[in-house]
Amino acid sequence: MSLATSTIATLRRRLAAKEISPTDIVRDLLARIDSVDPRIQGYLRVNAADALAQAADADTSKPLGGIPIALKDNINQRGEGCTCASRILQGYTAPYDATVVRKLREAGAILLGRTNMDEFAMGSSTEHSAYQKTCNPWNPDCIPGGSSGGSAAVVAANEAIAALGSDTGGSIRQPAALCGCVGLKPTYGRVSRYGLIAFASSLDQIGPFTKTVEDAALLLRVISGHDPMENTSRPVEVPDYTAALPQPIKGLRIGIPKEYFGAGMDPEVQSAVRAAIDWYAAEGAEVVDVSLPHTSAAIAVYYIIATAEASANLARFDGVRYGHRSASAADPLTCYKNSRAEGFGPEVKRRIILGTYVLSSGYYDAYYNRAQKVRQLLRRDFEQAFGKCDIILTPTSPSPAFKFGEKTSDPLQMYLADIYTIAVNLAGVCGLSLPCGFTASGLPIGLQLIGPHFGEAAILQAAHSYETAHDWAARKPELA
Amino acid sequence: MKTETIDVAYVAGLARLQLTPQEEALFQQQLGNILGYVEQLSAVDTSSVPNDPIDPHLPTNVLRTDEERPSLDREAILANAPKQADHLILMPKIVE
């Protein structure tokens, strides 16, 4: 078996047995990247020399010793570019490591390269990257999902063993579903965002993309934990997620929210998710009906709160201290306006304007404050549902991967692609997507498992039992 | 909540964003659609939520001990500035 197609768990065993070296793994991945990435275009940059140097020094006794990991290009890695796939950060070099990067280094991981994304993580297809179009490894005419489309695509195409992404409204889970890998959005406060370039601070979380649930458990443990540099990270103990995996699911109460099974769902997605529910029931899990009554308001709430926060967070990109400065800047105000006009793409501009508008005098109460109130109701929905069940099961995305250009002309249609993932961020709970089947045309379908605050162990456990009883993870995209 | 037409040029000014007339026209129409969609929030009964909702899951006033620690590398930070000289970041002139 090629090293590039292996999991973290397998590579760790083989490294421990001295059958292979970290350099073997990096060389295999670099060869794979050379052969498939010109078509997939999942990476913005790969630092081959640096990856080989890290491999030469890797300590394989550490939890991720010698394992190459790809990073979404909005996570600061000292000495590397960090563009957020935006022109405005072209030429910027990160002067420090994000906390997750420091933790990966301390765990012995090899930082392999930087992955493509929607500009500033705003989008659901990675089509809003200012640099390149990433293709879905299962069908090059389809989008990989977004905003962490590059991270999902390189893991699915076996160009990385695992990757990190960020999830503000579904940006890990939706591309994981569309590319057929495992993606986990941890509980708000589980993973430090220090060094993640902020999009919407009350929603952003960093999380793993992996080939298996076991790998997600390993990687999550490494990146989790309290960070004095990040005031929303919580001092909650990080459990040994791997140890929880083999526990039986008999008696596990799985909630099925009726609002997530209404109109608008692709029939093939519907039948794959229904089959997964039936499997859980047959295995002795208790399937219970729950209700999340404010679900239909989630996207409206999100596009007020996320854009409001983005308009404030992106104010720092003004052409002064870093990034692009307009050549036509004769005075400070023109410098700000023109640098931003030249540096930001259309979706970012659209969201900055919407966010500025909903926060502006006279509209704040009608939009922002009202959205905050409905957000509380969405939170209560989850609290009440988790009184009746241990985890919640839904589809990850209403449809499999769509074609390039299908939703770019109508931003609202693109926003609606996040219908099943967005409420999880608004409520601050955790969610995981794993493969649960394929369409007749061969596109992956994702199953979402949602857990309560700091309930990652329960969703990992439930996902692991499903995964080991099915062979979806063994299917690989045909990339000649 | 009532439907308002966004004065895109005015809001873009607040956001320090120079738009082309084409962008203004496009955003006017697209943001109008999005605002029409979010209008649905006015139908949600929020009477059970306090007027100034505080997120109970968010910590407030988190303090850490005031200890000396290394700061970021000054040269690396300055190297990112589009224009600099003598350890200062240069900007266009503010006053004549």
Region A43-50 average pLDDT: 98
* Tens of pLDDT, residues A211-240: 999 999 999 999 999 999 999 999 999 999
Give the H or E element holding residue A113.
strand A110-115
A323 touches chain B (CB under 8 A): yes
Q: Cα separations (Å) of A236 from A47, A192, A239, A477?
A: 35, 12, 9, 39
Q: Are both A345 and A414 inside the same structural domain?
A: no
Other Cβ atoms closer than 10 A to A201:
15
For residues A370 and A390, membership in a common domain is answered with no
- B53 with A334: Cβ contact below 8 A: no
Same domain? A397 vs A329: no
Question: What are the strands of the beta sheet with A162-167, ordered from one edge?
Answer: A43-46, A110-115, A68-72, A162-167, A205-210, A182-185, A430-438, A444-451, A391-395, A253-257, A286-290
Spell out the residues 6+ positions from residue A361 whose beta carbon is closer than 8 angstroms to its own. Answer: none
pLDDT of residue A300 exceeding 60: yes
Pair of tokens at residue A303: 């596009």
CATH assignment of the domain containing A82:
3.90.1300.10
User: Can you say whether residue A254 is alpha, beta or left, with left for phi > 0 and alpha for psi between -120 and 50 degrees?
Assistant: beta
CB pair distance less than 8 Å for A341 and B18: yes
Q: Is A359 found in the same domain as A234?
A: no
Q: Roughly what angle, to the nearest 10 degrees, separates helices A8-16 and A213-223?
A: 80
Which residue, among A305, A342, A354, would best test binding to B if mutated, counting the most B CBs under 10 Å from its CB? A354
DSSP strand pairing (A162-167 vs A68-72):
parallel
In a domain, B27, yes or no: yes
Helix (H, G, I), strand (E, B) or coil at A206: strand
Beta bridge partners of A257: A290
Q: Is residue A278 part of a domain?
A: no
**Measuring CA to CA, which residue among A322, A434, A319, A351 is closest to residue A118?**
A351
Contact B92 A377 (CB under 8 A): no
How far apart CA A71 and CA A67 sit, in angstroms, is 13
Give the CA dihedral A358, A359, A364, A367, nearest 10 degrees.
30
Assess whether A25 and A116 both reside in one domain. yes
Peptide bond into A147 cis (omega under 30): yes
Residue A270 touches partner B, C-beta closer than 8 Å? no
Q: Is residue A247 part of a domain?
A: yes
Cα(B40)–Cα(B27) distance, integer angstroms:
21
The amino acid occupying position A315 is A
Please report the ipTM that was assigned to this predicted complex: 0.93
A72-92 per-residue burial string, b: 16 or more CB within 10 A, e: under 16: bbbbbbbebbbbbbbbbbeeb
Q: Is residue A215 part of a domain?
A: yes
**Mutation for testing the A interface, residue in B5, B22, B33, B34 having most A CBs under 10 Å:** B34
Provide the annotated active-site residues of A: 72, 147, 171
Q: Profile chain B (96 residues) by mean pLDDT over runs of 10 residues.
A: 75 97 95 93 93 65 85 93 94 84
Give me the sign of the Cα torsion angle A123, A126, A127, A130: positive
In this prediction the pTM is 0.97
Rounded to an integer, what is the distance from CA A92 to the centroid of its chain?
23
Average pLDDT over every residue of A17-32: 98
Question: Does some domain include residue A279?
Answer: no
Kindly provide the b/e burial profile for residues A243-280, where b requires at least 16 CB atoms within 10 angstroms of the residue's own CB: eebeeebeebebbbbebbeeeebbebbeebbeebbeeb
Q: Please give the average per-residue pLDDT across A245-257, as a whole number.
A: 96
Same domain assignment for residues A12 and A34: yes
| CB-based contact, A312 to chain B, within 8 Å | no
Structural domain contains residue A277: no
In this complex, the residue of A93, A297, A354 whose CB is nearest that of residue B80 is A93
CA distance B33 to chain A (A): 8
Neighboring chain A residues of B67 at a CB cutoff of 8 Å: none
Q: Rg (Cα) of chain A, in Å, rounded? A: 21
> B38: which chain A residues are within 8 Å (Cβ-Cβ)?
300, 303-304, 367, 371
Q: How confident is the model at residue A159 (pLDDT cuts 50, 70, 90)?
A: very high
Residues A63 and A212 in one domain: yes
Mutate to test the interface with A, among B1, B4, B17, B73 (most CBs of A within 10 A): B17
* Last residue in a domain, options A350, A374, A398: A374
What domain range includes position A216? Answer: 8-255+386-474
Across the interface, whether the CB atoms of B17 and A344 are under 8 A apart is answered: yes
A116 with A180, same domain: the answer is yes
The answer to whether residue A261 is domain-embedded is no
Question: How confident is the model at residue B59, as a pLDDT?
Answer: 63
Size of interface A-B (CB pairs under 8 A): 155
Place of tokens 């309290």: A226
In a domain, A392, yes or no: yes
How far does the CA of residue B37 sit from the closest CA of chain A (Å)? 7
Residue B4 lies in a domain: yes
CATH number at residue B25: 1.10.20
Q: Is residue A355 domain-shared with residue A402, that is, in the same domain?
A: no
Q: What residues 66-85 of chain A have any CB closer than 8 A to a CB of chain B?
A: none
Give me the pLDDT at residue A412, please: 86
Residue A117, classified by CB atoms within 10 Å of its CB into exposed (0-12), middle (13-18) or buried (19+), is buried
Which candidate from B2, B18, B89 shows the least CB-CB separation from A338? B18
Residues of B in contact with A428 (CB under 8 A): 57
Structure tokens, A175? 């591309």
DSSP-H helix ranges across chain B = 8-14, 21-38, 74-79
Q: Residue A223 is encoded by which pair of tokens?
A: 């990146």
Residue B13 within a domain: yes
Are residue A320 and residue A446 in the same domain, yes or no?
no
Per-residue model confidence (pLDDT) at position B4: 62
Residue A379 tokens read as 């939170």
Sequence letter at residue A29:
L
Give contacts of A234 with chain B, Cβ < 8 Å: 59
Query: In Å, how far is B18's CA from the nearest CA of chain A?
Result: 5
Q: Of the candidates A89, A93, A146, A78, which has an alpha carbon nearest to the alpha carbon of residue A115? A: A146
B23 lies in a domain?
yes
At A349 the three-state DSSP class reads helix
Q: Is the model's pLDDT at A83 over the cut of 70?
A: yes
In total, how many domains does chain B have? 1
- Burial (CB count <10 Å: 0-12, 13-18, 19+), residue B67: exposed
- Residue B38's domain comprises 1-44
Domain count, chain A: 2
B75: in domain: no
User: Is A272 inside a domain boundary?
Assistant: no
Chain A residues with beta carbon closer than 8 angstroms to that of B1: 366-367, 370
Q: Terminal CA-to-CA distance of chain B, rounded, Å?
A: 46
Domain end point (choices A321, A343, A374) = A374
Say whether B44 and A294 touch across the interface (CB within 8 A): yes
Residues A43 and A104 in one domain: yes
A336 and A400 fall within a common domain = no
In a domain, B50, yes or no: no
List all residues 6 or more positions away from B58 whose beta carbon is below 8 Å from its beta carbon.
Answer: A202, A232
Query: Among the three residues A346, A374, A402, which one is the final residue of a domain in this structure?
Result: A374
Residue B26 lies inside a defined structural domain of this protein: yes
pLDDT at B6: 86
Res B2: pLDDT = 47
pLDDT tens-digit readout, A410-437: 888 888 889 999 999 999 999 999 999 9
